[in-house]
A and B are shown apart, each in its own frame.
Chain A
Amino acid sequence: MLFELTPDQDFLWETTAKFLTSQAPVGEIRRRREDPLGYSPDYWRRGADLGWTSLLVTEEHGGGSVSGRGLVDLTLIAHEFGAHAAPGPLGPANVVAGALSRAGTRTDVIGALLAGSATAAWAWEEPGGLLAGRPPQLEIGADGDEVVLNGTKKPVEAAADADHLLVTGRSGDGLTQVLVPAGTAGLSVERLRTVDLTRRFAALHFDHVRLPADTVLGVLGGAADEVEQQLQQALVVQNAETVGAMDRGFAMTVEWAFDRYSFGRPLASYQELKHRFADMKSWLEGGHAISDAAAEAVAAGDADAAHLVSVAKAFIGHYGLELMQDCVQIHGGIGVTFEHDLHLFLRRVTANGATLGTPADHRQRIAAIAIEEDSRS
């Protein structure tokens, strides 16, 4: 998280932090372990009132940022989501709202997302991964004044209970995005098991799903740049959230190290452990630094945004987990029990590490960008 916030950003951050402290305490998160949604609809509506879904939507469509860079503002909320292991479709709702706003379509859906009365999911991932130059296998074909979708999207965050699904697929050599209403004929939803306690994932199977051609966002086969932007935004939210969870896991473990005595002295007095805390602190601050740098670059549309956002995911995806597992190790046996709260944050970091491209996928992207730049210079 940024060291210096504007007064408006500070207000946004603080209201969300306070709201989550009172509305998403660990007891509530534990209670909703088996809940299909993972949160109450009222919780999400009240969060939307705090601005959770408005920051990537233009003022013309009822949204707006607090600092002029809505994505950077959104990272403050995402950080708190991570720090509380909070439930709710924060990334998906914002990515879809932003996409609709840029496309200038379905203002009714935008309005419902802003109000928190509806939710949305972005169906991008596929089994086998999409980042290593592999195009989506889900096909979106034109048939008269209709489009037809065939294929599978998996895993898709918050998809099972979403009202609207923004589906990314392939049309020939190009990418296409279609806004699919929940319950459309030919669409089957499979709820997935997940490491996360309160976030939900689903697989979406499309079997000749037919929709009017005006459900396409933009031009058939012309969505590649838009998809890239959505991916970057989703990663920025995910990274900020992971760093928030790392922050919390690290703070809990530092506290434990002062509290826990072995052989008559606190764990914090053993040099072996002190040095591991120092390493973790360097990963944590590195995570903050690169998460914020990527958010600024994506928000500004900088030329190095793709590079920075992949660096952020590759780093935070890898070192976030190293940090959390070291926190488990320093806690000892209690760290792998359900009773202790540390796992709530380990779960969030684990789910985030695996989705939207693994660290290895992003290292390939970093290398591809670097080699491409190198061959041009």
Chain B
Amino acid sequence: MSVDTVEDLDSFRRRARDWIRANLKPLDHAALAAAMAGEPSEEQELAQIQHERHLMRMMFDGGFAGITIAPEYGGQGLTPAHQRAFNEELSGFEHPSHLMVPNVSPCAAVLLDFGTEEQKKTHIPAILKGEELWMQLLSEPSGGSDVAGALTTAVRDGDEWVLNGSKIWTTGAWWSDWGLCLARTNWDVPKHRGLTVFIFPLHREGVDVHRIEMLNGSKEFCQEFLTDVRVPDTDRVGEVDKGWTVGTRWMFHERMLYNSPLITMPAFGRPITSSVSPIDVARDAGRLDDPLVRDLIGESRMLETVGARLQQRVGQGVRTGRLSDQGAAISRLFIGVAGARSRTITFQIAGSAGGAWSDSDGAVAGQGTGYLMRQTGCIGGGTTEMARNVISERVLGMPRERSVDRDVPFREVPRGPSADTRSRS
């Protein structure tokens, strides 16, 4: 689309505002808080996902899906500023919060970067319509941070590839449709040079999806076991053995998180995925007037606000080239650490109810369980330790850590005494 035919921002914003108000429901924070107090049942979760698929379809039909994606793939061909305007107008309204990360980004983002024309034309519109939900088959049980050390193997067989291995930490794989999978296609070259990316439907023979129970009772995460999964070569993304080129960009999208120009998410207000407000906890703990508690509330709000503004700054810096692509690690680190601190704060405000509570205790109920999960924000999506490596080495240019796996065939890389058993467990 040429520059002079792009809809101007003000007109787009008015159109977006009218459409949002006419079609979407305002967020009901009380109902959301109540719903988040306990783990949803399987039926509730499926109903929520079904509703969000419907919201995706409405946005597609309304001309607001894929705002920065080219029209030939079902998008609107507009700019990040248009996406930002839409996100601002979306503040306070329902939105498909589960279907953005990783479905639209990194998954659709990676397809847009590396997919064939046919792959993009088949899948991008389906993702934007809510017809296909994608998830990423990236981490493995043998190592979370060492993504390029993938053991899941793809072996060529004529026009097909045969995949075997296991992937883990996939969110909502049991209700998703397609997976983006990093696999090893060559064991005789150094690890970064023997990887390839494939896509395949999840509900099929040879793909066994297990749900993992977390410390808070959530079964959102899954592990998949792949047994002789046959994938046509036309479902390969990027070149054979050049999967790390794809993977690097994939992880860039992952670090951009909600800051990606592909993501439709309210710009203001508490995201509905966030934890309970420390003010609600303080009120229900009867400690809202305690200056020490108010100090903690102030700190929590401070970290939340700075994190959001930092994410905007990093997004802008990366878009304009003032920061390297790797700069996304800066906001990833900050938000991970700040999130852990905020979990500690609500736990502290909850007082004794953080250790034992009844369901009628309101917002203090379950803060102890939330605290048990404190580190998840520093682990998922690449650990904060990896982010610190990226910032010091790639942003500040400091010497890289010594590696013993860089220039040797992957087959010869030491794997630890129980690696073989772990990878099958």
Contact = CB atoms under 8 A, between A and B. Distances in A.
A277 B334 CA distance: 13
Contacts of A364: 291, 294-295, 298
Contacts of B295: 360, 363-364, 367
A288 B388 CA distance: 19
B305 A275 contact: no
B388 A274 contact: yes
A49 interface: no
Nearest to A319: B306
A362 B295 CA distance: 9
A130 B317 CA distance: 37
Interface string B291-314: 100110111011101110110111
B72 interface: no
A4 B320 contact: yes
B393 A274 contact: yes
A112 interface: no
Interface stretch (B123-131, B193-201, B237-245, B396-404): B396-404
Taking each of B288, B306, B307, which has the highest tally of chain A beta carbons within 10 Å of its own beta carbon?
A: B306
B392 interface: yes
Nearest to A370: B301
B39 interface: no
Interface in A1-55: 3-4
A278 B388 contact: yes
B333 interface: yes
A311 B317 CA distance: 22
A267 to B, nearest CB: 9
Chain B at the A interface: SS class: helix
A145 interface: no
Nearest to B387: A278
A366 B301 contact: yes
Contact of B392 (A274, A293, A368, A371): A274
A306 interface: no
Nearest to B393: A274
A324 interface: no
B365 to A, nearest CB: 19
A367 B298 CA distance: 4
A154 B396 CA distance: 42
Nearest to B293: A367
Interface in A228-267: 254, 257-258, 265-266
- Dominant secondary structure at the A interface: helix
A282 B395 CA distance: 11
Given A282-B334, A282-B391, A311-B306, A254 B396 contact: yes
A366 B302 contact: yes
Interface residues of B, number: 45
Contacts of B334: 282-283, 285-286
A315 interface: yes
B304 to A, nearest CB: 9
A278 B392 contact: yes
A271 B320 CA distance: 30
Nearest to B399: A269
Given A268-B399, A278-B391, A374-B277, A289 B302 contact: no
B301 A279 contact: no
A254 B314 CA distance: 20
A161 interface: no
Nearest to B282: A371
A362 B392 contact: no
Contacts of A113: none
B389 A274 contact: yes
Nearest to B277: A374
25 contacts: A3-B320, A257-B398, A258-B398, A269-B399, A274-B398, A278-B329, A278-B387, A278-B392, A278-B396, A281-B330, A282-B333, A282-B337, A285-B313, A289-B313, A290-B309, A314-B302, A315-B303, A315-B306, A362-B298, A364-B298, A368-B294, A370-B279, A371-B279, A371-B288, A377-B29
Interface of A: 3-4, 254, 257-258, 265-266, 268-269, 271, 274-275, 277-279, 281-283, 285-286, 288-290, 292-293, 307-308, 311, 314-315, 360, 362-368, 370-371, 374, 377
Interface of B: 29, 277, 279-280, 288, 291, 294-295, 297-299, 301-303, 305-307, 309-310, 312-314, 316-317, 320, 322-323, 329-331, 333-334, 337, 385, 387-389, 391-393, 395-396, 398-399, 401
